Structure 1
Amino acid sequence: MVEYLRALAAQRLPWVLLAGSALFLDVCALFFQHGLGLHPCVMCIYERIATMGVLAAGLLGMTDPKRPWVRWSAILLWGYSAFTGLQLALRHVDYQLNPSPFNVCSPYADFPSWLPLDKWIPWLFMPDGDCSEISWQFLGFSMPQWLVAIFAAYLLVCVIVAVGNLVKGRCCQ
Structure 2
Amino acid sequence: MLSVGQWPNKPFAWLLLFLGCSGLLGAALYFQMVLNLEPCVKCVYQRMAVIGIGLSAIVGLFGSGLWLTRWAALIGWLYSSYQGLLIAYDHWDLQTSKNAFFAVCESAPNFPDWAPMHEWMPGLFAAPGLCGDIDWQWLGLGMPGWMTVIFAGLLLIGIIVTICHIISSFTKKDGLVLYHK
| TM-score normalised to structure 1 length | 0.94
AA paired with 1:65?
Answer: S
Write out per-residue CA displacement over residues 18-40 of structure 1, whole angstroms, 9 at most, x where no aligned residue. Answer: 00000100011011001110010
Counterpart mapping for 1:93-132 below 5 A = 93-98=92-97, 99-132=99-132
Residue in 1 aligned with 2:71? 72
AA paired with 1:169?
Answer: T
Write out per-residue CA displacement over residues 9-64 of structure 1, whole angstroms, 9 at most, x where no aligned residue. Answer: 21111100000000100011011001110010000000000000110111110002
The alignment's C-alpha RMSD in Å is 1.6
State the Cα distance separating 1:90 from its structure 2 match. Answer: 0.5
Partners of 1:113 and 1:45 in 2: CA distance: 17
- Of the structure 1 ranges 92-101 and 148-157, higher mean CA displacement relative to structure 2 is found in 92-101
AA paired with 2:37?
Answer: L
Contact 1:54 1:82 survives alignment (8 Å): yes
Partners of 2:140 and 2:102 in 1: CA distance: 26
State the Cα distance separating 1:171 from its structure 2 match. Answer: 6.7
Does 1:17 find its partner at 2:38?
A: no
Partners of 1:93 and 1:53 in 2: CA distance: 21
Partner SS state of residue 101, structure 1 = helix
Contact 1:54 1:81 survives alignment (8 Å): yes
Aligned residues: 171
Partner SS state of residue 83, structure 2 = helix
| TM-score normalised to structure 2 length | 0.90
Which structure is richer in relative contact order (CA contacts within 8 A, separation 6 or more)? 2
Residue in 1 aligned with 2:166? 166
Write out per-residue CA displacement over residues 48-104 of structure 1, whole angstroms, 9 at most, x where no aligned residue. Answer: 000001101111100021211111000000000000000000010011001432452
AA paired with 1:84?
Answer: Q
Contact 1:95 1:105 survives alignment (8 Å): no
Residue in 1 aligned with 2:177? none
Contact 1:7 1:171 survives alignment (8 Å): no
Runs ≥4 residues deviating over 3 A:
none
Residue in 1 aligned with 2:37? 38
AA paired with 2:65?
Answer: K
Quick one: percent identity of the two aligned structures? 35
Residue in 2 aligned with 1:157? 157
Does 1:58 find its partner at 2:46?
A: no
Residue in 2 aligned with 1:148? 148
Gaps of 5+ in 1: none
